[in-house]
Each structure stands twice: as structure tokens, then as C-alpha cells.
Amino acid sequence: MEILIEDHQMLLNSATGYLAKKQSVAAFRALRDGDEPLGYDATAYRQMADLGWMGLVLPEEYGGSDFGYRAAGLIAEQMGRNLTAMPFVSTAILSATILREIGGDMLTEWGMKIAMGECVVALAIDEGAKHRPGQIKTQAVRDGDGYLLSGDKSFIADGMGADRLIVSAMLEGELTLFWLDPLEACFGTSCCDIAPQKLLDHRNYASFYIKNCRLNENTLIAKGEVAEKALAKALCAGRAVVAAEQLGMAKECAARTVEYLNTRKQFGVLIGVFQTLQHRMAHLYCEIEQTSSLVAQALNAIDENAEECEKLSRAAKAKVAKLGKLATEEAVQMHGGIGMTDELDLGLFMKRDRVLTEFLGDAACHIEWLLREQKI
Amino acid sequence: MDLSFSAEEEAFRGEVQAFLKEKLRPELSAKMKLGGAPSKAEMEEWHALLNERGWLANHWPKEYGGAGWTPVKKFIFELESELAFAPRIVPFGVSMLAPVLIKYGSDAQKKHWLPRILDGSDWWCQGYSEPGAGSDLASLKTSAVREGDHYIVNGQKAWTTMAQHADMIFCLVRTSKEGKRQEGISFLLIDMKTAGIDVKPVITIEGGHEVNEVFFTDVKVPIENLVGEENKGWTYAKYLLTYERTNIAGIGGSIALLGHLKQAARKRKKHGKPLLDEPYFAARVARVEIALENMKTTNLRVLADVAAGGAPGAESSLLKIKGTVIYQELTSLMRRAMGAYAAPYFPEAADEGFNGQVGPDEALHAAEDYFNHRKLSIFGGSNEIQRNIVSKMMLGL
Ligand SMILES: Cc1cc2nc3c(=O)[nH]c(=O)nc-3n(C[C@H](O)[C@H](O)[C@H](O)COP(=O)(O)OP(=O)(O)OC[C@H]3O[C@@H](n4cnc5c(N)ncnc54)[C@H](O)[C@@H]3O)c2cc1C
């Protein structure tokens, strides 16, 4: 049902081919079982950059391809289908979008590095169990020509081993973004430390606390309205691209379930002949198609810089949370006992889905925003 | 009984509450409250305390060491135990095998096995399902061939809960390939230590180990371990499936979990206000609370029917479907209430002295509990199969 422009179709084809071969669910499982501390394969990260995926939303003069967010969503969807673990959303979407919005020397220097797959940049905004980017407790104060930073951040995707962290804080009552080099921050001392957070999806997450950590003048990359705008755009992009990833996961769970209904026999027949299961799969199919439309619409709106991109990205993230739950629960249920096992991949999808639902805000968070801001 | 308990039943409820207060270790109930699974030692400890009081085999006739309780009393006991976060009685020996032995076993079998269930000498597991025989149990293939005074058993059982702890397994095996599939099945008791038995762990999605695969290669089983008659095992298995299923909805567990959820959601703040005051969340909690209250009345109606001499037939399917859906929704809400605090993965959280948690205590097992309880709608006859039973038995479709 998808109608794609030629460039997107080519990109999609290369993504399906590459991921199936190099970054399938089996590759993720190997990472998990090997307890790989980074949570991803650094060599594959470079390959992904060679394919041009890290620079999809960066302008051409900074090493990117400027293919845009819809294209990035197509890649994310395939990553979802394969449970590919890569610092794609953290670096190529969230951080790259912030750099792009800010522009200037930062973009010149770091845009290129991101596009080349030479660095990982993680966004540190969350401070507790729920995503509340607008309620930040982390504080910065001026200290001579620099700043002193204090606060806690948690659930930082790809935060361990990241080359840089973009940290949100309040300075003089205004939202401010700092560009933190973990090697220069005082991590490891008694007042500041960074530690891995092991989540259900076995990816790379970090949390840190920091107290009066001294930062140089040039670590402040945006403040006030500039910071607000850059973060808002990045979050729109992040929500829509994560929604695409979750959509891919839902599609994969549905596809695997259809296949199972066509192979598993009980009572002498394929279980797929039972109408109750057929109708539920049909319902899931409809939900997947509806969600696909919404995700595509949100991604297009971001590409077009349309005003409704915030509304649409939130709606998409909320909708996909429901879809992901439905798809993974139905998949497990229709597989019966085998669906409950770690050996089958469905549990991996289910756990990743729940983590992504919380990441960048759950359905309630976005529905509430829609009710409040849109006066529905 | 009407839809309320008699004075005598209310007095009995007080007795149960007093027992729980006196005997249930607070550390154990605290662990259960947070969704932790009891260890084998803790289950044994609880069984021993119940047995001492004569309440372990509460529904067995008195002559076999049971308490001879009515279904209503049994219901009250289970409800109160769940409300107090006591471990459940492990059903395999006490509630699944024993009723079959009592009805169909030989005197020698009853004399030998029943006391051993009571005093905990034998832990039993249930060997029904196979990789190819789940919902369609009658298609099972594990075979038992008579050779002299033994059966030689070959095949594989799947999803065997607690086989890793079990001393004995009761199995459905194929003793004949003639006639209807149901008519070639026998009910065998097998010692897990017999040569040729291999138990392989199966890890479930939340990372736990409660189910296993059990392989049988030329396993010698003495013929005195056959229960009842050869090729009549299906009848016995079916008897077991309709026996005492009046608490299958697990109302007590759901009421307890709802209370726990509300407490946790009152403590957690959203925009400075208790999460429980947030309309979107509160509506979901209210919906499940209404369903649960409703379910309780339905359960009491079924009990009243049984007390008046009816047998719980397809009503137990209704209880199972509704009860499991409610419990699953509660675990889902608990996980949602904890947000990302429910996302950390700590397989070691069940270990003594674990202190690596993030967020409040309630978050510790919230995710694990949710993932693990996906099983409720799959095992014990999946909810789809239960709906088939309702369609056929209650609606004649
Ligand atoms: C955690 C856990 C513990 C268990 N413990 C034990 C144990 O101790 N001992 C034991 O013997 N077994 C045990 N089981 C096995 C359990 O009873 C089976 O998993 C269950 O009967 C389903 O069988 P299956 O897994 O083969 O699924 P299948 O029968 O293959 O079913 C797959 C899907 O098809 C659906 N389906 C099948 N037939 C129909 C139909 N006619 N109409 C509509 N839908 C249908 C099912 O509902 C399910 O959704 C356990 C299972 C689990 C998950």
C-alpha cells in the first residue's frame, strides 16, 4: 500500500537488504547474550554511516544527504523489524536535529562527524520515571567565564561511551543546552558520576548525577528561545522516528504471527482457520495501516516544517503505543506457550516496545498535551 | 448460600484471618506483595504451616487427612490468603493429582501417595502438554509400552511447571493407537529420578525459570503406577479439569493487587498531583475496579449454585476468561504507573540482599509481573479455548 518516491524506495531496499544480512534479530540477540557494554556493534555503526543513514537529516554541505525525516522513518521502521541496536535515534535524529537547528560552528564541526559515523552524541533530558522535558531541575549558574552545573539525568539513550552529551538545564530561568564532553566532566569523582542503566530492552542507557561541575564558556550551545526551538524540533523528530521504529516492530510481530497461524496445527488443522484468530489479525492489520498513515503524515510534516508537526508527532507516538501493545500481546497470545519463551523473539519485541513507549513520552503524556494545547 | 456469607462462614473468615496474621511471615508477604515469586523453600514452609493446621488439603475428604471444606469455605480461605499476600498452595499434588487418586486410584496408591503430598515428601508436576499437543491435548504422542511388569515410556512433555523441583510427575501417555484418540490415553505416575528422564529449563520472556521440557528415553515405570484402568486416562484428566474450579478467577489476588496499585499510584506524583487523580489513569483504574467488583458477584453466584448442588461446568470458563483479563490489566496498569522505573532489567532482583533498584519498591517487579502474567490467558486452557467451551456448552453453538 506504500507509495514511495524513487529515492525513498531505493533507500528502503538497501535498508532491508543490509539489516536482514547484518543486523537481524539474531545479531541483537548475540549482543544481548554477549553482554556487550556499548549495546551495539561499533563496526556496524560505521557501515551504517557509509550507507548514508547517519546524515539523513543533515544538510549536504555538512556531510549529510538531507533526505529528511520521512526517509529516516523508513530506516527506523526497518530497524524496528530487525530489533537493530544502533545509536541512530540518539545521534542521527535527536542530536543531529539540535545541531541543525542551532547551526554555526557546532554544526560545521559535529554535523560532519555524525554523518561520517565518527561519534555518538546522546541527549540527556529526562530526570525521572516519566518524560517531562519541560520540568527540568538541573541547574546551571555562571562562574566567571564558565558555568557550574548540578543535577541528575537518567534514561539517556546511548549515554554510555558517548563522545558528547547534550544536557538540558535551567540557567537564569531559561532553558539551556550544554555540550558536555564526558572525559572533561568530573565523572568518577565523589560528586559526579555516570553509570549504565540496564533496561528491559538491553540497549545502552546511562544515568548521571553532577554537582557543581565546572564547564567552559563554549559548552553552552543554546539558551532561551533558541534552545526551546531546537529541543522542540528534535523532540518532534524523535517522537515520529521512534513511532516509525515501533510501527516496524508491530508489523514484524504481525507478520510472524500470520506465518505461525499458517504453520501451527492443532485439532488436525492449521490454527489460522479459526475465525476468531482471523478476525483479530484483521483488526491488527487495520490498526497497523491506520498507524502507518499517521506516522507518515507526522514525518512529512516535519520535513515540510509544517506547524502541525508537534501535534502530529505526539498523536503518532500516542497511537503507536497502543498499537505496539496490541501487536505484541496478540502475537504472544496467538503463539500460545511458545510465545512466552525467551527463545522465540516475541518477548524481545514486547520488551523493546514497552521501553520505547516510555521513551520521549507515553500515550497519556501526549494525549494530555493534545487535550490541553489543542483544546479538543 | 445467597450472595452473602452465613454467620458461620463469616466466623470462619475470622479464623482464617487470625491464622494468616499469626503464621504468615511479614517478610514473605512483603515479598509477595511486590510481585516476587516464592522460592521452593518458601512454598514448602507455607505448605508445612498449613498442613500443621490441617488446612493444606482443605477440600479432600476427612478420611484422607483433608479438612472436608465446602467450596464456599475453600473460596473464603483462598480469598483471604490472597488478600494477605500469602503464597498460593502449589496445586499439582494437592489440587490436581489428589482428587484423581481419591476418585480413581487404588487403595495402595491412596495410602502411599496422599500422605506424602501432605507432608511434602513428594513435589509433583503435571506432564500433560507436549510440543505438538497444547490446546489439542488429545493428540499427545508420548508413548508407554507394556513390557512385563513395567511400562517403557518414550517421548517429550513441554511447559512442565516446576519440573526442576519435582520428585514426581503425573503424565498422560499414549497406550493405544486404536480407535478414538481420547481412548488410547493412560494416566501414569513417574518418579523424576528414573534413568532416561532429562529436564531442560525453558526461560520465559521476563527472564524467569518456571517451565521446562521433560524428555523420556526408555524410562521404566512399574505398572503399579498406572492410575485406574489402561486407556481411561482422558476421563481422569477431564475430571481433574472440572474439579473445584470455583476460584479460578483469582478474585482475591486481583483485589489485593488493585489495593496495591492504588496505594502506589497515590504515592506517585504527576505534575505535583497524585497519579491516581489524573483522569486518564483514574478512568482505567475505575474501569477495572468496576469489572472486578462485578466479577466478585458473578463468582459468588457460581458458588451459590454449587452450594445448592450444581456443578461448575462451563461457568468456570467464564470465571477464567474474565478473571485473567482483569489480572492482566492490573499488571499492565502497575507497570504504567511506574513508568520508566518499571523498565530496568534486574534478573537478580529476586536474589536476597539485592539493592540495585531504581525508583520505588513497587517498581521492582512491575514489569516482570506484567510479562510473566501474559501466561494467564494461555495456560490451563487458553482463553480462546474457554470461549469455545462457552459457545458450545452454554450457547449450543
Ligand atoms: C507458563 C506456562 C506454564 C505451563 N505449565 C504447564 C504444566 O505445568 N503442565 C502442562 O501440561 N502444561 C503446562 N502449560 C501448557 C499450556 O497448557 C499450553 O501452553 C496451552 O494448553 C496452549 O497450548 P499451546 O501452547 O500448544 O498453544 P496452541 O494450542 O498451539 O495454541 C496457539 C494459539 O491458537 C489458539 N487456538 C488453538 N486452538 C484453537 C481453537 N480451536 N479455536 C481458537 N483458537 C485456538 C490458542 O488459543 C492460542 O492462542 C503451561 C504453559 C505456560 C505458558
Interface membership of A129 toward B (CB under 8 Å): yes
Phi, psi of A212 (to 5 degrees): 50, 45
Residue B203 and residue A341: Cβ atoms within 8 Å? Answer: yes
How far is C-alpha B191 from the geometric centre of its chain's CA atoms? 22
At residue B344, the pLDDT reads 65
Dihedral in degrees, nearest 10, Cα atoms A71, A72, A74, A76: 180
Q: Which of A336, A354, A364 faces B343 most closely, judged by CB atoms?
A: A354
For testing contact with chain B, the best of A340, A350, A356 (most B CBs within 10 A): A340
Interface test with A, best of B140, B205, B357, B371 (most A CBs within 10 A): B205
CA of A364 vs chain B CAs: smallest distance (Å)? 7
Give the distance between the most distant pair of CA atoms in chain A.
80
CA of B158 to the centre of ligand 1 (A): 10
Label each residue of A22-71 as H, E or C: HCCHHHHHHHHHCCCCCCCCHHHHHHHHHCCHHHCCCCHHHCCCCCCHHH
Q: Are A129 and B268 inside 8 Å of each other by CB?
A: yes
Please give the grid coordinates belonging to residue A27. Answer: 545479531
Place of cell 508445612: B48
SS3 of A139, please? strand
Kindly list the residues from chain B whose CB atom is less than 8 angstroms away from the CB atom of residue A265.
Answer: 132
- Letter string b/e over residues B171-207, b meaning 16 or more CB atoms within 10 A of that residue's CB: bbbbbeeeeebeebbbbbbbbbeeeebebeebbbbbb
Distance from chain centroid for Cα A243: 8
Residue A147 above 50 pLDDT?
yes
Question: Quick one: pLDDT at residue B363?
Answer: 72
Judging contacts by C-beta atoms under 8 Å, the chain B residues touching residue A277 are 384
Residues in chain B: 397
**Cα–Cα distance, B297 to B362 (Å, whole number):** 29
Mutate to test the pocket of ligand 1, among B128, B130, B202, B379 (most ligand atoms within 8 A of CB): B379
pLDDT of A2 > 70? The answer is no
Of A200, A274, A325, the CB nearest to B367: A200
Instruction: State the pairing for strand pair B209-222/B168-174.
Output: unpaired
Q: What is the mean pLDDT of each run of 10 residues along chain B (397 residues)?
A: 83 97 95 87 96 94 91 91 94 94 96 96 96 96 97 98 97 95 96 98 94 98 97 92 73 91 87 85 94 92 83 83 94 84 58 51 78 92 94 92
Among the listed residues A46, A54, A150, the one whose alpha carbon sits nearest the alpha carbon of residue A96: A54
In the reported structure, the alpha carbon of residue B381 is separated from the centroid of ligand 1 by a whole-number distance in angstroms of 6
- Contacts of B100-104 with CB under 8 Å at 24 or more apart are B100/B170, B100/B187, B100/B227, B100/B236, B100/B239, B100/B240, B101/B227, B102/B60, B102/B61, B102/B64, B103/B236, B103/B239, B104/B187, B104/B227, B104/B228, B104/B236, B104/B239
Q: Compare CB distances from B374 to A154, A267, A329 and report the shortest one's residue.
A: A329
Q: In this complex, how many residue pairs, one in chain A and one in chain B, have their CB atoms less than 8 Å apart?
A: 117
Residue of chain A minimizing CA distance to B283: A364
List the grid coordinates of A10: 531505493
Cβ distance B339 to A358 less than 8 Å, yes or no, reads: yes
The whole-angstrom separation of Cα A100 and Cα B375 is: 47
Closest residue, chain B, to A265 (C-alpha): B132
Whether residues B375 and A130 touch (CB distance < 8 A) is answered with: no
Comparing alpha-carbon positions, the chain A residue that sits nearest to B342 is A129
Written in H, E and C, the secondary structure of chain B is CCCCCCHHHHHHHHHHHHHHHHHCCHHHHHHHHCCCCCCHHHHHHHHHHHHHHCCCCCCCCHHHCCCCCCHHHHHHHHHHHHHCCCCCCCHHHHHHHHHHHHHHCCHHHHHHHHHHHHCCCCCEEEECCECCECCCHHHCCCEEEEECCEEEEEEEECCCCCCCCCCEEEEEEECCCCCCHHHHEEEEEEECCCCCEEEEEEEECCCCEEEEEEEEEEEEEEHHHEECCCCCHHHHHHHHHHCCCCCCCCHHHHHHHHHHHHHHHHHCEECCEEHHHCHHHHHHHHHHHHHHHHHHHHHHHHHHHHHCCCCCCCHHHHHHHHHHHHHHHHHHHHHHHHHHHHCECCHHHHCCCCCCCCCCHHHCCHHHHHHHHHHHHCCCCCHHHHHHHHHHHHCCC
Write out chain B residues lying below 8 Å of A131, CB-based.
Answer: 340
Range in A49-58, A279-288, B304-313 the model is least confident about? B304-313
Q: Hey, are the CB atoms on A197 and B344 less than 8 Å from each other? A: yes
Nearest neighbour of A342 by CB, restricted to B203, B280, B339: B203
Q: Do the chains contact at A129 and B378, CB–CB below 8 Å?
A: no
From the number of C-beta atoms within 10 Å of its C-beta (0-12, 13-18, 19+), residue B273 rates as: exposed
φ, ψ of residue B202 in degrees (nearest 5):
-120, 125
Q: Cβ(B190)–Cβ(B166) under 8 Å?
A: no
Residues of A in contact with B211 (CB under 8 A): 337, 340
For residue A296, give the C-alpha cell. 507518515
Please tell me the distance from the alpha carbon of residue B260 to that of residue A254, in angstroms, as a whole number. 34
Ligand 1 centroid, distance to A293 Cα (angstroms)? 35
Q: A368: nearest CA in chain B?
A: B280
Q: Inter-chain contact B204–A332, Cβ cutoff 8 Å?
A: no
Delimit the CATH 1.20.140.10 region(s) of chain A: 226-373
Ligand 1 atom nearest A335 alpha carbon: 32
Cell numbers at residue A30, please?
548475540
Atom of ligand 1 nearest to the CA of B388: 42
CA distance B181 to chain A (A): 11
- Name the minimum distance, in Å, from the CA of B5 to any CA of chain A: 37
Question: CA of A360: which chain B residue's CA is closest?
Answer: B340
Instruction: State how far residue B20 is from chain A, nearest Cα, in angstroms.
Output: 33
d(CA A129, CA A127): 7
Task: Please name the residue of chain A whose CA is at the shortest distance from the CA of residue B133.
Answer: A266
Q: pLDDT by residue (tens digit) across A62-121?
A: 999 999 999 999 999 999 999 999 999 999 999 999 999 999 999 999 999 999 999 999
Q: How many other CB atoms are there within 10 angstroms of residue B110's CB atom?
A: 16
pLDDT on residue B358: 54
Q: What is the DSSP letter of A89?
A: I
Secondary structure letter of residue A111 according to DSSP: I
Distance, in Å, from the CA atom of A154 to the CA atom of B268, rounded to the nearest integer, reads: 17
- Among A231, A376, A364, A238, residue whose Cα is nearest residue A313: A238
Residue nearest to atom 34 of ligand 1 (CA): A334
pLDDT at site B11:
96
3-state secondary structure of A122: strand
- Alpha-carbon span A121 to A157, nearest angstrom: 10
pLDDT tens sequence across A323-369: 999 999 999 999 999 999 999 999 999 999 999 999 999 998 899 89
Average of pLDDT values for A216-242? Answer: 97
Distance from CA of A63 to the nearest CA of B (A): 35
**Chain B nearest C-alpha distance from A149 (Å):** 23
Residue nearest (by alpha carbon) to ligand 1 atom 24: B134
B157 CA distance to ligand 1 middle (Å): 13
- C-alpha distances (whole Å) from A218 to each of A106, A178, B81 are 10, 9, 63
Q: Is A126 on the interface with B (CB under 8 A)?
A: yes
Instruction: Note whether B367 and B335 are within 8 A (CB).
Output: yes
Architecture of domain A6-119: Orthogonal Bundle (1.10)
Compute the distance between CA of residue B89 and CA of residue B77 in angstroms, rounded to an integer.
11
CA of A337 to the centre of ligand 1 (A): 5
Measuring CA to CA, which residue among A119, A198, A189 is closest to residue A155?
A: A198
Q: Which domains does chain B have, with CATH numbers?
A: 7-89 (1.10.540.10), 124-231 (2.40.110.10), 245-394 (1.20.140.10)
**Partner-chain contact A129 B382, CB within 8 Å:** no
pLDDT score of B290 = 97
CATH class belonging to A226-373: mainly alpha
Domain spanning A124-223: CATH superfamily: Butyryl-CoA Dehydrogenase, subunit A, domain 2 (2.40.110.10)
Q: Which residues contact B344 (CB under 8 A, 6 or more apart)?
A: A197, A198, A199, A200, B357, B358, B359, B363, B367
Please determine, for the modelled complex, whether the ipTM score is greater than 0.90.
yes
pLDDT, average across residues A206-217: 92
* Amino acid, single-letter form, for residue B80: E
Query: Is A174 strand, coil or helix?
Result: strand
Q: How far apart (Å, rounded) are the C-alpha atoms in residues A51 and A72?
A: 12
- A227: its cell numbers: 534552545
Residue of B139, B278, B338 with shortest CB distance to A129: B338
Compute the C-alpha angle A253/A51/A35, nearest 5°. 55
pLDDT in tens, A233-260: 999 999 999 999 999 999 999 999 999 9
Give me ligand 1 centre to Cα B255, in Å: 27
* Residues A294-302, mean pLDDT to the nearest whole number: 97
Report which ligand 1 atom has the smallest distance to the Cα of A340: 53
What's the pLDDT at B365? 77
Q: Which residues of B304-327 are buried (b: 16+ CB within 10 A; e: fewer)?
A: bbbbeeeebebbbbbbbbbbbbbb
Q: In which residue are the cell numbers 524496528 written? A: A80
Which residues of B belong to the active site?
244
Residue ranges of chain A assigned to CATH 2.40.110.10: 124-223
A231 and A168 Cβ atoms separated by less than 8 Å: yes
C-alpha grid cell for residue B329? 490489566
Residues in contact with ligand 1 by the CB-under-6-Å rule are A 264, 266-267, 271, 274, 276-277, 333-334, 336-337, 340; B 126-129, 134-135, 159-161, 211, 375, 378-379, 382, 384-385, 388
The DSSP bridge pattern shows strands A164-171 and A139-143 to be parallel
What's the CA gap between B226 and B214, in Å, rounded? 19
Asked if the C-beta of A107 comes within 8 angstroms of chain B's C-beta atoms, the answer is no
**pLDDT(A313) > 50:** yes
Residues in Cβ contact with A30 at an 8 Å cutoff, skipping those fewer than 6 apart: none
How much is the pLDDT for B351?
47
Of B340, B378, B387, the CB nearest to A340: B378
Distance A350 CA to ligand 1 centre (A): 19
Strands A146-157 and A205-215: antiparallel
Q: How near does any CA of chain A get to the CA of B205, in Å?
A: 5
In chain A, CATH 1.10.540.10 sits at: 6-119
